[in-house]
Amino acid sequence: MSIAGGTYQFVLAATGFLSHQADQTLLPACRQAGVPYLRVGKGRPMAVVRAIAHHLGVSAVAPATG
C-alpha cells in the first residue's frame, strides 16, 4: 500500500526514529495525496494523542490520576 492509494487518513512521523531522508520523502507524498502528515515526538504517547486531537479539532485531556 502507498500513501497515494488513499488508504491512510493521516501519517504519524515519530521524530527521532525517522531519518531526514525518510521525512523528506513522506512529507511530499502526503501533501500530494492530501493526507495529513503529523510529526510526533518519539516515546511520547501523549504527544501522539495531542497531535491526533489537534488534527481532529478536539481537546486532548490527560486522565486524572489518584
Range 9-35 average pLDDT: 91
Residue 2 or residue 37, greater confidence? 37
Range 54-58 average pLDDT: 86
CA dihedral 47, 48, 50, 55 (to 10 degrees): 140
- Cβ-based neighbours of 17, under 8 Å, separated by 6 or more: 42
Domain containing 23: what range?
3-56
51 occurs within a structural domain:
yes
pTM (2 d.p.): 0.71
Considering the chain, what is the average pLDDT of its residues? Answer: 84
Instruction: Give the model's pLDDT for residue 51.
Output: 85
What is the rounded end-to-end Cα distance, in angstroms, of the chain?
43
Total domains present in the chain = 1
63 occurs within a structural domain:
no
Give the length of the chain.
66
18 occurs within a structural domain:
yes
